[in-house]
Each structure stands twice: as structure tokens, then as C-alpha cells.
Amino acid sequence: MPRIIDLIDCQVASLGEAAAGITAQGFDPHDQESLMGAALWLRRLGNNQTFLGDLLIEQLAQRHREEPGGNAYGPQVVMLVPPGGSFFIRANIWPSADEHMVRASGEAAFAIGMPHDHNFSFLTHGYFGPGYWSDYYEYDFSEVVGYRGEPVPSLRFVERARLEPGKLMLYRAHIDVHAQLPADSLSVSLNVMHTAGAQGWLDQYKFDLDRREIAAQLSPAPSAAFLKVAVGLGSDEALDLAHRFALRHPSDTMRLAAWEALASREVGAETRDTLWREAEGAGSRLVAMEAKMRRAELAA
């Protein structure tokens, strides 16, 4: 399960002070000194029980005409400090099961009950309310390729726990898996999220806990949508690029996206089957296993 960080500090920091403190040393979750420094500033920000409410009231009063610091508001996430350098800071709002927004939109809109890992590490702090519950698991990322239905024999249940007020934890990339459950009542967490240039190429998975296998890949390949649009438009350059990506790109996920783009141009089941048969022998186990499933779907 995520690593619990037992760090006591009574100082109170503003959002600006916390951001400046983390910026000064960076945030590297693999470096103990850097990790504890970021955790200290998150603890101090969490001790400030008025800053988030003041920020939200200010933005509501301005009707979002001005959003200092690039704050971006979604139905669940408040961007407090935008990405820059090695981190960003956000607040997450966790509704209870009987909240109108959950009943209207469904639990899936809030990723409730969806077992998943993360392709980045992040610190989280229970800021407001009783906190959300999670069923925590761990697995060995190095043992999987990432295709749908792939067995994950190392996946094991650890415990069910709650992000209680003041609790500070590190979610570890490619280790911790959690199926999030609703909070008992409306809750808020604060996060310091690690960012890195290679992050977009790292896979993130949804798991089938009953079968102990990968259910889906949650992280799309960078630029995959652009490639699919370009191939759909049909220029020779786009088709040539897609073929080269399909055969030689260093990311297996991007290779699969290229094959999918090429397959989308094929009209009949027979020509699509021919293309996916070619993909099976293209030198990527991820692509080969996905291609085999696509061919079975076509046959069905």
C-alpha cells in the first residue's frame, strides 16, 4: 500500500510559500531528502485550514474571469499550482455515495471502484472531511507487458484503509494499486504530483481483481490521437510515418496506436485481419497479443 509518512510539523504555510519551498529543492520521490522536503511543505500547507476555502470563494466572486497561477477547475480537481519543473499541486474533492453529483453522474465518473495503478508518484494529504476509503494492492510492474487479459500473478491485497484527516502518504508509481471507495461524507485531499519528461511514455493499468489480470491500459500513447487523425486524412507522409512507428517505435504502446490507425483505414474484415496478422509478427509482444485478440474479435 502507499507509504505512510509520519511527519509532525505545526507550522502553517500559504500556497505560495509551499510552492516556493518545493520549487527550491525540486520533487524527486526516489530521493529521500527531496521526498521528505516536499512532504514537509505539504504538511504545512495542510495545516492551513483556510487557504482553499478562501481561494474558492475568491474565484466564485470573480466568476472565474481571472484565474491566478493558471488554476483550472473540473468537477473534482482544483489545480492549485500548475505543472512546472518536477511537480504540480492540486486539490481533489471526494464526494460521498449519497451526494447528488454521484447519483446523477454515476460512480464511474469519479473512478470509484476502479482498481488502477499510477505511472507517476505523488504525495497525498487528508485535508478536509473524514477522507475516502481504498482497497490497497501491490504488484510487480516488471512482470507485465500490458496487454488486455494478461495475468498478474504478483497482484496481492494489502488492506482497506482511509485517508484520514492529517494522514500523509506516498503513492508509488508502478507499485501501489487501489480501488477507491466513496468517502463517508464530502472530503478533500491535497496532492503534490511528480512530473518528468518520460512520464507520458510510461504505462498505467486498470486491473480485474477477480481474474488477477490487466483489464485495460489507461495511459494513451503520446501523440496517438494526432497520428490517427493524420492517417485518417490519408496523406502518403502520414501512412509512411504510421508504418515506421508500427515497426520500429521504441514504445510498444505507440506501436499499437500506429497499427490501430492503419487498421482504421481498412474497410473489410478480411483486410483488417491481414493487417493484424502482420502486426502479430512485428516484434512486439504487446502488439502481438493485442493483434491476436483483434483477429479473434473479427472472426467472431
For the chain, the structural domain boundaries read: 3-217, 224-299
Q: Is 181 exposed, middle or buried (0-12, 13-18, 19+ CB in 10 A)?
A: middle
Q: Using a pLDDT cut of 90, give the percent of the chain over it.
A: 78
Q: Which amino acid is at 141?
A: F
Answer with the residue of higher pLDDT: 220 or 299: 299
Length of the chain counted residue by residue: 300
Domain 3-217 listed as CATH 2.40.37.10: no
Q: Name the band, by pLDDT with cuts 50, 70 and 90, for residue 63.
A: low
Is pLDDT of 114 > 90?
yes
Question: What pLDDT, on the 0 to 100 scale, is given for residue 69?
Answer: 47
Report which of 12, 38, 10 is spatially closest to residue 23, judged by C-alpha positions.
Answer: 38
Question: What pLDDT, on the 0 to 100 scale, is given for residue 64?
Answer: 58
Residue 156: beta bridge partners?
138
Residue 208: how many other CB atoms lie within 10 Å: 15
Answer with the residue of higher pLDDT: 251 or 104: 251
Report which of 166, 29, 6 is spatially closest to residue 87, judged by C-alpha positions.
Answer: 29
Question: Do residues 5 and 170 make contact, with C-beta atoms less than 8 angstroms apart?
Answer: yes
Question: What pLDDT, on the 0 to 100 scale, is given for residue 66?
Answer: 55
Residue 38: beta bridge partners?
none
Is pLDDT of 255 > 50?
yes
Question: Do residues 95 and 182 make contact, with C-beta atoms less than 8 angstroms apart?
Answer: yes
Beta strands (DSSP E) in 31-132 are 77-84, 87-94, 122-128
C-alpha cell at 271: 483486410
Q: In what order do the strands lie in the sheet with 156-162?
A: 156-162, 133-138, 176-181
Distance CA 124, CA 101 (A): 23
